[in-house]
């Protein structure tokens, strides 16, 4: 998921070869125009539209998983991320209810589905595509099953309407379940102020990285932001939840839904623990494996045990798979659930 992206306006379904550099102010203006134009009501309104807490939600990250080009795991190069083919592949997996994807606004005003802020090619236009990794390497974007980039409108028209979308835009939905999310506190607040038909979630790293904006630095701050702004839920980096399990109780007491993202969500044991802790849903790359694991999980517990919060004061400078490019390599573990928690601490 690109960070932080704001909403963009609806536009005719037309391709553009390159995405514009991020301009939050301009995109917020486009968001206002889009939201004021209005949209048809979805089946559920307000807080009821958030993922149901009675069943853990599995959300395909960028479709059927992001492309980690630097990883030795071939499953993370199976199908081109953020493409119609990837969305269809995720939709075919039993237990997957939503797909998450990134929407950029091109400089000529069209919303396209693409994670990065710019496109690397050998020439100004056309194939092949390249991707810059977090460590600075530029690799050819080769996957087993390639597909073209697509517009947001093509995804809305072409993907099974039973599949929900986690997007940062407001569009005519044809009764498709949709919710918005943003790492940018003001963008999330504005999206909520402009409309009350679709849930808005605040994306946070929960203190695993430190920002100048204090609203982004803890789960406690995320709760305050959501309550003050009338947001419906939080999407947290999973390590923050493992470091501060008592925060889950406060999130639920505030009437908020809680989803998580991050590499640990590709470990079934870590997802199992989150279900026991009361997490409502997980955004994952290994869609098939985790969907099967979730189908076998028990019900969530009613309360989360307290834990010394002093252990959560440390921060990490590493980049997560939801934000700022891609993670190089997938966390590899066959250890029990305790090892998953240890890896997060």
Q: Secondary structure of the chain in the HEC alphabet?
A: CCCCCCCCCCCCCCCCCCCCCCCHHHHHHHHHHHHHHCCCCCCCCHHHHCCCCCCCEEEEECCCCCCCCCCCCHHHHCECCCCHHHHHHHHCCCCEEEEECCEEECCCCCEEECCCCCCEECCCCCCCEEEECCCCCEEECCCCECCCCEEHHHHHHHCCCCCEEEECCCCCCCCCCEEEEECCHHHHHHHHHHCCCCCEEEEECCCCCCCCCHHHCCHHHHHHHHHHHCCCEEEEEHHHHHHCCHHHHHHHHCCCEEEEECHHHHCHHHHHHHHHHCCCEEEECCHHHHHHHHHCCCCCCCCCCCCCHHHHCCCCCCCCCCCCCCCCCCCCCCCCHHHHHHHHC
65: left (phi over 0), alpha (psi -120 to 50) or beta: left
Sign of the dihedral through C-alpha 103, 109, 110, 115:
negative
pLDDT at position 110: 80
pLDDT at position 117: 60
pLDDT at position 251: 97
10-50 tens-digit pLDDT: 333 333 333 333 344 344 334 333 332 322 222 222 333 44
Q: What is the mean pLDDT of the chain?
A: 71
pLDDT at position 254: 97
pLDDT at position 237: 97
Tokens for 97? 């209810």
Cα 307 to Cα 315: distance, rounded to the nearest angstrom: 17
Fold classification of 24-344 (topology level)? TIM Barrel (3.20.20)
Domain boundaries of the chain, sorted by first residue: 24-344
Cα 78 to Cα 80: distance, rounded to the nearest angstrom: 7
Instruction: Please identify every stretch of the chain with a pLDDT value under 70, giving residue numbers as ranges.
Output: 1-54, 69-70, 76-77, 116-139, 141, 143, 168-175, 298-345
């Amino acid at each position: 998921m690109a960070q932080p992206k704001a909403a963009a306006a609806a536009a005719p379904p037309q391709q553009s070869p390159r995405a514009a550099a991020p301009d939050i102010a301009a995109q917020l203006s486009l968001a206002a125009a889009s939201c004021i134009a209005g949209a048809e009501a979805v089946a559920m309104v307000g807080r009821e539209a958030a993922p149901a807490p009675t069943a853990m939600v599995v959300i395909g990250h960028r479709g059927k998983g992001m492309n980690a080009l630097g990883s030795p795991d071939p499953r993370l190069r199976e199908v081109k991320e953020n493409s119609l083919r990837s969305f269809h592949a995720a939709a075919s997996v039993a237990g997957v209810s939503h797909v998450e994807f990134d929407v950029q606004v091109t400089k000529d005003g069209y919303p396209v589905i693409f994670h990065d802020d710019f496109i690397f090619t050998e020439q100004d236009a056309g194939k092949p595509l390249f991707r810059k990794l977090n460590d600075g390497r530029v690799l050819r974007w080769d996957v087993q099953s390639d597909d073209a980039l697509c517009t947001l409108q093509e995804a809305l028209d072409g993907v099974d309407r039973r599949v929900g979308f986690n997007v940062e835009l407001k569009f005519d939905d044809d009764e498709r379940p949709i919710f918005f999310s943003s790492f940018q506190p003001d963008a999330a607040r504005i999206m909520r102020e402009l409309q009350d038909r679709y849930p808005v979630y605040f994306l946070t790293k929960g203190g695993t990285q430190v920002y100048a904006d204090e609203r982004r630095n803890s789960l406690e701050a995320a709760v305050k932001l959501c309550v003050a702004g009338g947001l419906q839920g939080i999407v947290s980096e999973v390590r923050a939840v493992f470091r501060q399990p008592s925060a889950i109780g406060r999130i639920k007491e505030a009437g908020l839904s809680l989803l998580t993202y991050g590499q640990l969500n590709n470990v079934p044991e870590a997802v199992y623990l989150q279900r026991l802790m009361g997490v409502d849903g997980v955004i994952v790359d290994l869609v098939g494996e985790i969907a099967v694991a979730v189908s076998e999980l028990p019900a969530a517990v009613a309360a989360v045990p307290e834990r010394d919060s002093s252990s959560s004061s440390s921060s990490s400078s590493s980049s997560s798979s939801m934000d700022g490019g891609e993670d190089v390599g997938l966390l590899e573990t066959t250890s029990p659930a305790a090892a998953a928690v240890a890896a997060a601490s």
